[in-house]
Structure 1
């Protein structure tokens, strides 16, 4: 390409239903962006199909790299390698990190090699570690409307049934053996809890970065609404869940008449996410904690009431940092960040 690339966008779960849709929409509208997609296995048919779709759009800079979100060392290595590539100007700075990868499961799973529930680690702990590991990779604020960078965490309505303490005791296993089936209600609470904790932890990180004042980064959650299609990472869903999903898919034209966000093809939220990622915000908007449902902008604390409790938010941030402490030391994350994470000034907690 004759024109130099201007920025890098990272999409985790880039071979998934939503992640691949986001990549296609960005490729259509942003020809000078380097798309860096991640997948647990890069040798799958959906990766090849995605690359084929983007080639049909035109000459684009895109790569799909392996990243296992159930392995903290994989996350740390990916982040460090990406930071190094940006330092050596192999790729441009990151302007958007989109946490699109997701895992759901309706069975009691074996713990990961790091000792965590895989749903919790994939949806919460690894995105948090990846965000911190990439801090030096993000584009710095330059005083213009396009300055700075964004971290977009893909959320869901299931957070309303989640609990911040769900994984505190035995990771919700209650002594049950791996392979034990979970009911639809418990499986949804487990999933919703992982997404709730992930969102609150990233907002807590945002507050801490504002307090330290050394990195300009807008972090928020975006709920894409219901999406039709098959998930790559859904394990052991009970019949009630499968029937409900099929029923919603069949009713999609009617649900859409009631609510735009009820049930959509993946292309609908993918377009919304691509627009939000490249929208030039005012300084006032960057100072707010925002939560998007498609393109509708809400006060984050109105959607996630947990954010109103400053002590719980602080406690969660410290807990998350302790869980990833070894990996952050190996990644050489910015020195000023480590001692001040968790020390959030009370004024930043007033909502």
Structure 2
């Protein structure tokens, strides 16, 4: 490729049903970005099929690296190595971080080595820790409409069933042996809670970083709607859940319009995500907290009422930060110091608002 790369795009779960289509959509429209995809097993057949598919589009800069989100040490190590590569100019700065990896489970699972419910760790803790660990690698804002970087969390309508306190006390699940089936209702609440908490703490992170004035990341959630086709992200799903995945039942998010409730192939939301990830924004738009349902934009607080409660957001952010720090290794000192200062700023702001 004769032209210099313009930035790095990181997609977690890059070989998943949606993640792979996002990678393809970006490869088709952004030939001068470096695609850095993560997968638990970069040697898997689906990874080889994906990279072959992207190579057929044309000459593209792409790599697939291992990342196990059930191990916070590995998340921290991956983030640190990526930051170092950016500092050494082996990679261009990150312009987009897309949290596509996710898991749903309808059985009681063994806790991770870090001591958390794997649904909570994969869908919430790991994305948060990865975002914080990569702070020093994002493209700096130069004041232009193309300045700065975006962090996109792939949400889900199930967040409407979620509760912020769902994982606080393990809900008694630790008394049941691993493998015990969960009802469709409990499994959906568990998954939705992980998605809700992740969205809330990432919006809180955006708000807290804005308090420091030196890391203006645009962080937001995008609900891709119902996606047709099989998925390997669900464990032990009851028949009712498997049927609902093929219908419109239970798939409406908070504000989904009728036209948004249809079940699409993964390539449809992937194209939207690729577009939103690189859309040009005004300074005023960057200052707003946005929530997307496909390409329809909403004020985030109108979709997630928790965002109107600053003290609650600050408290949840502090809790998740402490849980992430409690992993086998902490994040880089500068990143964690930046976050701690930002959290202090958010807490002070919340106190003033009371």
* TM-score class, shorter: over 0.9
Asked if structure 1 preserves the Cα contact closer than 8 Å seen for 2:314 and 2:343, the reply is: no
Structure 1 residues 329 and 44: CA distance shift in structure 2, 3 A: closer
* Equivalent residue number for residue 191 of structure 1: 191
- CA separation of 1:270/1:348 partners in 2, compared to 1, >3 Å: closer, same or farther? farther
The match for 2:252 is none
Change (3 A) 1:91 1:160: same
Deviation at 1:248, TM superposition (A): 5.0
Aligned match of 2:299: 299
Query: Equivalent residue for 1:346?
Result: 349
1:1-351 alignment, distance < 5 Å: 1-170=1-170, 173=173, 175-247=175-247, 258-326=258-326, 329-334=330-335, 335-344=337-346, 345-346=348-349
Would the alpha carbon gap of residues 143 and 179 (structure 1) be closer, same or farther in structure 2, given more than 3 Å must change? Answer: same
- CA deviation after TM superposition for structure 1 residue 348, in Å: 11
Q: CA deviation at 1:282?
A: 0.5
> Matches of 2:70 and 2:352 in 1, distance apart?
32
Change beyond 3 A, Cα 1:172–1:286: farther
Structure 2 Cα separation of the partners of residues 167 and 29 of structure 1: 40
Q: Does the CA-based 8 Å contact 2:124-2:198 persist in structure 1?
A: yes
**Contact 2:23 2:35 (C-alpha < 8 Å) held by counterparts:** yes
Q: Over aligned residues, Cα RMSD in angstroms?
A: 2.0
Q: Deviations over 1:211-237 (max 9, x none)?
A: 111212000000000001122221000
Distance of 1:141 and 1:209 partners within structure 2: 13
Give the C-alpha shift of residue 123 in structure 1: 0.3
Q: CA deviation at 1:44?
A: 1.3
Specify whether residues 134 and 330 from structure 1 end up closer, same or farther in structure 2 by C-alpha distance, changes over 3 A only: closer
Distance in 1 separating the partners of 2:352 and 2:160 = 21
CA drift of 1:318 comes to 0.6
In the alignment, the residues of structure 2 paired with residue 77 and residue 18 of structure 1 have an alpha-carbon distance, to the nearest angstrom, of 25
Q: Distance in 2 between matches of 1:349 and 1:54?
A: 51
Q: Deviations over 1:141-188 (max 9, x none)?
A: 011110000000000110110000000012551621111100000000
Alpha-carbon distance in 2 for matches of 1:259, 1:106: 29
Q: Write the distance in 2 (CA, Å) between the matches of 1:291 and 1:147.
A: 20
Shift of the alpha carbon at 1:312?
Answer: 1.1
Alpha-carbon spacing, 1:173–1:332, altered in 2? closer, same or farther (3 Å) = same
Say which is worse superposed, 240-249 or 86-95, in terms of deviation: 240-249
Provide the rounded CA distance (Å) in 2 between the counterparts of 1:298 and 1:316: 23
Partners of 1:318 and 1:342 within 8 A in 2? no
Tell me if the contact between 1:291 and 1:299 (Cα under 8 Å) persists in the aligned partners: yes
| Displacement after TM superposition at 1:262 (Å) | 2.5
Whole-Å Cα distance in 2 between the matches of residues 273 and 342 of structure 1? Answer: 32
Distance 1:347 1:287 in 2: 18
Q: How far 1:8 moved relative to its partner?
A: 0.2
The answer for the alignment partner of 1:254 in structure 2 is none
Provide the C-alpha distance between the structure 1 equivalents of 2:91 and 2:31, rounded to a whole number of angstroms.
Answer: 15
How far 1:38 moved relative to its partner? 0.3
How far the C-alpha of 1:6 sits from its partner, in A, is 1.0
Aligned residues: 344
Q: Secondary structure at the match of 2:220?
A: strand
After TM superposition, the score normalised by the length of structure 1 is 0.94
Displacement of 1:341: 1.7
